[in-house]
Structure 1
């Protein structure tokens, strides 16, 4: 199933997206207590059967008549992120930083501040007053489905609700100047997510999905999640050893090669640019730099 958050007539709602992605059904018709995505995730096991039996009784709304928002517009916690998790991206990052590449022994974890996530077709503020090196990063975003800790790798997929597309927008000059990721990746609008969440049963375990990024129609990133250095069971199990994960928590799993800083000369984003991040089996996340 695919679930979205949308706005219609000023009201934010949670919706079920039709298989052909042309229609959305407001879940408040099925259960009035489901007002935000986290509530759906927490109650999904009990709602799933009702959805399967009664979805055809809900009122269809053409998807082009609603405004799609980020699936989780205001995450309860900062996003959990993993850097340098595709080998070729780690190589291009080392080259940009002027250092020798060394294969990581451990994942590079960091958090990404997000006041409100940008949704599909939303705008990303360029922050031209503080950065001149704005960059994109397509990433598979994992949505945690239940409260859990100290998971074994074999238990990880049972704890996942689903997946969406993320764009880990980054200010490379701030990253370089401060020597850490938090500030350069945590500016307002730097967490686009969408267009919806695809439940885990729709994809293979682990998901082997093609990822692509287009900037103004030019293909920049083109890879597959099978190239992750550290896979989902490893990362989520490791994080859960010391962190309690909760329904609606989001993990960005890393980006492949082809980011703007990897080109010679670099191809950083400018106001007016259109960025499309696409993941096979999930959809496209399209945003404009403003």
Structure 2
């Protein structure tokens, strides 16, 4: 199932993507007699509802898309007319893995990590599909980073690699935008990583059952239509199950937490210095991950 979050009258709504349009999850549940009240279903509630709620919404989405809505009151929305929010609008943690693609480590002349390199972003960095991203005045070297993002579905603490996928809810596209001049100012990367809107995610949160093996997905990034990154998650040094297990050995992962799993080769930092042209106002960046869709953002001043 492809899930998105959108804004309506100042409130967040959860939508289910179908080929015929977007199903408002709360409206569909109310119309079918499965949920009442005035508070819209949140993504956290959807995750907490587990497979049973997913199956119900999948059935309702199929009925609406096929014109077989028993209540005849469920209307599918035009996705292009919606104001999207980040597909995971309020993760408790945004965890990132650095230098996790072998060829990316090589292009930046970095040693191959022996254990995952972890850093974080804050919630101010979240941005939605098609949301403008302001370039920080303090930086002249903003770079793109196409990434596969893991979204947690269950509380995970000290779990094994073998059990890790049981705790994953789904995946989405992400762009780990990085101000390289700020990032490299100190040994801690945080300053260059969590500028406002520097973690676009979306457009969809795709449930794990639709994705299959997350370590075999094509991943790419283009700038103004020019392909800059083209790889496969098979090049990851630490696979998704290893990452989830490793993090859980050190701190607890909660439902809705997101993990950005690293970027492949092709970032501007890896170019020879005389060829480096960093993102400018007006540049449009598109990240695409197989089975997850495409995430596009335009840089602004």
Query: TM-score surpassing 0.5?
Result: yes
The equivalent of 1:53 in structure 2 is 59
Shift of 1:116: 5.6
SS in 2 for 1:12: strand
Give the gaps of 5 or more residues in structure 1. 95-100
The equivalent of 1:37 in structure 2 is 43
Find 1:23's aligned residue among 21, 24, 47.
Answer: 21
Find 2:262's aligned residue among 254, 266, 271.
Answer: 254
Find 1:107's aligned residue among 102, 110, 116.
Answer: 116
Structure 1 pair 207/23, CA: closer, same or farther in 2 (3 Å)? farther
The equivalent of 1:76 in structure 2 is 92
Find 1:218's aligned residue among 189, 203, 226.
Answer: 226
Q: Encode CA deviations 1:183-224: one digit per residue, 9 max, x unaligned.
A: 110111111000010100002234411111010111000000
SS in 2 for 1:270: coil
Q: Distance in 2 between matches of 1:59 and 1:178?
A: 52
Structure 1 pair 207/199, CA: closer, same or farther in 2 (3 Å)? farther
Q: Distance in 1 between matches of 2:123 and 2:86?
A: 12
TM-score by length of 1: 0.92
Shift of 1:283: 0.5
8 Å CA contact retained: 2:124, 2:194: no
Q: Distance in 2 between matches of 1:146 and 1:118?
A: 24
The equivalent of 1:155 in structure 2 is 163
Structure 1 pair 11/83, CA: closer, same or farther in 2 (3 Å)? same
* Superposed counterparts of 1:100-179, under 5 Å: 101-115=110-124, 117-127=126-136, 129-179=137-187
TM-score by length of 2: 0.89
Q: Distance in 2 between matches of 1:93 and 1:194?
A: 27
Q: Distance in 2 between matches of 1:144 and 1:2?
A: 15
Structure 1 pair 52/177, CA: closer, same or farther in 2 (3 Å)? closer
The equivalent of 2:32 in structure 1 is none
Shift of 1:9: 4.1
Q: Distance in 2 between matches of 1:206 and 1:133?
A: 31
The equivalent of 2:292 in structure 1 is 282
Tell me if 1:89 matches 2:104. Answer: yes
Shift of 1:132: 0.5
Q: Distance in 2 between matches of 1:267 and 1:158?
A: 42
Matched residue count: 280
Q: Distance in 2 between matches of 1:10 and 1:65?
A: 15
Q: Distance in 2 between matches of 1:60 and 1:84?
A: 42
The equivalent of 1:67 in structure 2 is 83
Q: Encode CA deviations 1:114-144: one digit per residue, 9 max, x unaligned.
A: 22621011111101x2101000100000000
Find 2:192's aligned residue among 180, 184, 188.
Answer: 184
8 Å CA contact retained: 1:73, 1:116: no
8 Å CA contact retained: 2:215, 2:240: no
The equivalent of 1:98 in structure 2 is none
SS in 1 for 2:162: helix
8 Å CA contact retained: 1:260, 1:269: no
Shift of 1:229: 0.4
Q: Distance in 2 between matches of 1:74 and 1:116?
A: 11
Residue range with higher mean Cα deviation, 264-273 or 248-257: 264-273
SS in 1 for 2:253: coil
The equivalent of 2:283 in structure 1 is 273
Shift of 1:34: 4.9
Q: Distance in 1 between matches of 2:267 and 2:123?
A: 21
Structure 1 pair 60/159, CA: closer, same or farther in 2 (3 Å)? same
Shift of 1:91: 1.5
